[in-house]
A and B are shown apart, each in its own frame.
Chain A
């Protein structure tokens, strides 16, 4: 039986890892693209085939209306919650589904857990390919600040992907686990996890006990809608405005151009983590060219308000843990957005010490998840994770006030019981509204569930039913009721306010057979061949351009040789070879491609100048 895996189901990328049985160390599985990152992008082919990862990401440019990214932002949320997202992301959703968001890919609608399940299936198949055995058990990570509905949606995604979800582990806790093993450190650790779509801060205490190491979360806080996506959106707004100002053109009308622009600003963001300046280039539909230099300091001014939004949660978590920044022994950075120098400086300034970033911030969460999977599955008993619930749990009382039953930062599992009685003679039920959040009024908190508690028909005040609310080790709510007169348990049908019901999941599981995993190798081969054909066609086209005549003889020879090698590889069924030679051809034609782009830019700029004078 294969070992259980750890999966980081991220906003931008997802990774899968496991503890190598030979070395006892966690390792990420390297996918078919030569690295462990699987873009969390899903696309639906016109022929009904689901495409995930790198090929889906390329389709963002060619088929944006059939492709979705950053779906994690929609997990466990209703239509009313995601209006802001809908304004900023090119999600197309079904307007007639208020409780569960349904994303349209082409003509079909999918819920966020279904889309996430496609991503999980993809990385699962990577692992199966790598290990040569079936993978059916996993630890999946979630942002620490995820609420009940978001966690349930993640667990549903795991089930839909054919995985037994052993545990949902909070991302910063997983990262601390990976770091703890790496550095053998003890003391108080702050994990600052700034990812693609979510921000978490967790304060942990690492304790060496006789039985082993304890990772105890003291407090956690965060924002489930704050991440690198917001930085991209800020840059996108800037360019969009500048293009509008200069050409009165709304790039939003061209989804392909918008995606190309998104790609360009993300590339600029990455470049500015290494360099002091970079250039954003974009060809517009009418042939005009947008070219703009962006310096690091300008970039930092733009994103400073976003980075500052992380500081409030950090202070809150410290206050909840009863600690001052100076009482933190180590600060650990997790998530791709912590590569940004401004973020690092700000964290260092806040804690008064340089943060740790020895482990790859993209991989550390998956590595920690693999360690936890190993602990759970192999019965290793030398490490104990004590995590907390990020939000207070309560019920609505008279006057719409939230009565807190389990305060935030309680170690989970946690429970609370409440005694209910009737106010009217022979009343047969009591309405209960379960909430999560820190606000005083029920309407400002997150509605988790409403249910009707059945009570025996008795004179007012006589019925006595005890309800037990339990938050399990995944941070998910369970409700049980017991009649105190008879001692009998009473069934409670809890309908989640957001998310899928049990029946919907069962139905989706049946439907998912339709998308049953196609043979991994076959699929890889088809994709590799398609990709190769695209590159070959583009090369032929470029070679017909006048610039091709200016090529040095050996450069031309290299291109011809790469074309020949690729065509040969395409006759085989070795997808790795086809990919490698596709990359080689891309490499060989790079010089030519640059010349062509230069000409296009020069012409566009020249055209512009003429118009302008």
Chain B
């Protein structure tokens, strides 16, 4: 980013220096978003993963009071455009950081470990057997449906159990992610950058697994809803 340092930034309205403030300290006018500001910075949060949900929400609401376009309806076109940009960025930041999984994804993308929207659809090795059985059950259900569901009860029961099992696995994955997030935070705080990188890579693996399991659960749930 060409203008990483904000020292030279001055207010578009009064010409006084503004730093990275949303509002000019001298005249109070809303300022453009400084390029390179990341979502943690937008919410005034430290770049950490294990953040408290209510803290994030409080920051979001407090900043919304100041930046929402409703406050600028009677201002100049330029100020309205700036408020729109700032408020949109605030909402984007909140949407991205409010839950742990998308927070981790965001950091992984920033670190170049994961690409946006990426989710590998390979079967995690330890799930191979279960996934195989699940697919069999789903096929059984489909053929039972074609034959008027006469003996579908048993397979429906089996699918319910499988779904519950995968659901539990999801919870385990989330717990594990939470732990790794904490470890990453500590590693970053103590400057252990190599360890931090390792944690991120582990999290990336878990996210792939998680997205795979989630798709399975969604698929089974959709089939069971039909029944």
Q: Which residues of A contact B (CB under 8 A)?
A: 166-167, 207, 209, 211, 214, 375-377, 379, 381, 384-386, 403, 407, 410-416, 470-473, 478, 487
Chain A proximity mask over B123-137: 1 for CB below 8 Å, otherwise 0: 000000000000000
A414 CA / B91 CA spacing, docked (Å)? 6
Chain B residues, CB < 8 A from A415: 85, 88-89, 92
Would you call A209 and B84 a contact (CB within 8 A)? no
**Chain B residues whose C-beta falls within 8 Å of the C-beta of A487 in the assembled complex:** 2
Task: Tell which of B65, B71, B73 touches A167, judged by Cβ atoms closer than 8 Å.
Answer: B73
Task: Flag if B64 contacts A386 (CB, 8 Å).
Answer: yes
B116 to chain A, nearest CB (A): 9
A-contacting residues, B64-105, CB 8 Å: 64-65, 68-71, 73-74, 84-85, 87-89, 91-92, 94-95
CA distance A416 to B93 in the complex (A): 11
Contact B68 A416 (CB under 8 A): no
- A291 CA to B225 CA, complexed, in Å: 45
The CB with the most chain B CB atoms within 10 A, among A379, A416, A470, A471, is that of A470
In the complex, which of the residues A166, A209, A410 contacts B61, with contact meaning CB atoms closer than 8 Å?
Answer: A209
Instruction: Give the number of residues in B that approach A within 8 Å (Cβ atoms).
Output: 20
- Smallest CB-CB separation from B69: which chain A residue? A473
CB of B65 within 8 A of CB of A473, answer no
CB-defined contacts of A214 to chain B, threshold 8 Å:
61, 64
Write 23 A-B pairs (CB below 8 A) sorted by A numbering: A167-B73, A207-B61, A375-B70, A376-B73, A377-B74, A386-B64, A407-B95, A410-B91, A410-B95, A411-B91, A411-B95, A412-B91, A413-B84, A413-B88, A414-B88, A414-B91, A414-B92, A414-B95, A415-B88, A471-B88, A472-B84, A473-B84, A478-B84
Is there an interface contact between A377 and B73, defined as CB atoms closer than 8 Å?
yes
Question: How far apart sit A381 and B70, CA to CA, in the bound complex (Å)?
Answer: 9
A167 in contact with B91 (CB, 8 Å) = no
Cβ-defined contact, B65 with A413, below 8 A: no
Bound Cα distance from A406 to B94, whole angstroms = 13
Rounded to whole angstroms, the CA-CA distance of A468 and B142 in the bound complex is 44
**B:153-169 near A, CB below 8 Å:** none
Determine the distance from Cα of A375 to Cα of B72 in the docked complex, in whole angstroms.
Answer: 11
Nearest CB on A from B1, distance (A): 11
Tell me how far the C-beta of A470 lies from the nearest C-beta in chain B, rounded to whole angstroms.
Answer: 5
User: Assuming the A-B contacts A410-B95, A416-B92, are A166 and B71 also in contact, with contact meaning beta carbons closer than 8 angstroms in the complex?
Assistant: no
Q: Which residue of A lies closest to B94 (CB)?
A: A411
Asked if residues B68 and A473 are in contact (CB atoms below 8 Å), the reply is yes
What B residues does A167 contact at CB under 8 A? Answer: 70, 73
What CA separation (Å) do A403 and B117 show in the bound complex?
9
Q: Which residues of B contact A207 (CB under 8 A)?
A: 61
Q: Which residues of A contact B68 (CB under 8 A)?
A: 384, 386, 473
Among B73, B84, B89, B94, the one with the most A-chain Cβ atoms within 10 Å of its Cβ is: B73
Q: Please determine whether A376 and B70 come into contact, CB atoms closer than 8 angstroms.
A: yes
Alpha-carbon distance between A403 and B74 when the two chains are bound, in angstroms:
36
From the candidates A211, A377, A379, name the one contacting B65 in the complex (CB within 8 A).
Answer: A211
Cross-chain contact B70 with A473 (CB below 8 angstroms): yes
What's the Cα separation between A37 and B68 when bound, in Å?
Answer: 33
A209-B61, A386-B68, A473-B84 known; A413-B73 Cβ under 8 A:
no
The answer to whether A379 touches B64, judged by C-beta atoms less than 8 angstroms apart, is no
Q: How far is the CB of B99 from the nearest CB of chain A, in Å? A: 10
A167 to B117, CA, bound (A): 33
The residue on B at minimum CB distance from A403 is: B117
Give the chain B neighbours of A478 by CB distance below 8 A. 84
A381 near B88 (CB under 8 angstroms)?
Answer: no
Q: Which of B163-186 contact A (CB under 8 A)?
A: none
Known A-B contacts A384-B64, A386-B64, A472-B69; A379 and B88 likewise in contact (beta carbons under 8 Å): no
- By the criterion CB–CB under 8 Å, are A384 and B88 in contact? no
Measured CA separation A415–B88 after assembly (Å): 6
- Give B74's nearest chain A residue, CB to CB: A379
Decide if B92 touches A384 in the complex (CB within 8 Å): no
A415 CA / B33 CA spacing, docked (Å): 13
With A and B bound together, what is the CA distance between A559 and B11 in angstroms? 77
> Contacts A379-B74, A386-B68 given: A470-B91 contact, CB under 8 Å?
no
- Whether B70 pairs with A413 at a CB distance below 8 angstroms is no
> How distant is the Cα of A384 from the Cα of B91 in the complex, in angstroms?
14
User: With the chains together, A347 CA to B87 CA distance in Å?
Assistant: 35
Across-interface contacts of A385 in B (CB, < 8 A): 70
Most buried by A among B2, B70, B71, B74: B70
List the B side residues contacting A411 at CB < 8 Å: 91, 94-95
> In the complex, A487→B1 CA distance in Å?
11
Chain B residues within an 8 Å CB radius of A375:
70
Which chain A residue lies CB-closest to B67?
Answer: A413
Q: Is the CB of A413 within 8 A of B64?
A: no
Measured between C-beta atoms, what is the minimum distance from B24 to chain A in Å?
Answer: 19
Which of chain B's residues have a CB closer than 8 A to the CB of A377?
73-74
Closest chain A CB from B3 CB (angstroms): 10
Sample of 7 further A-B pairs with CB below 8 A, known A209-B61, A487-B2: A207-B61, A381-B65, A386-B68, A407-B95, A415-B89, A473-B84, A478-B84
Q: Considering the chains assembled together, what is the distance between the CA atoms of A207 and B65 in angstroms?
A: 13
Q: In the complex, what's the smallest C-beta–C-beta distance from A517 to chain B, in angstroms? A: 26
Contacts of B91 in A (CB 8 A): 410-414
Interface string of B36-76 (1 = CB under 8 A from A): 00000000000000000000000001001100111101100
A470 B61 Cβ-Cβ under 8 A: no
Q: List the B side residues contacting A473 at CB < 8 Å.
A: 68-70, 84, 87
Taken together as a complex, chains A and B put the C-alpha atoms of A414 and B86 apart, in Å, by 10
- Give bound CA distance, A386 to B73, whole Å: 15
Chain A residue contacts of B85, Cβ below 8 A: 415, 470
Cα of A384 to Cα of B68 in the assembled complex, Å: 8
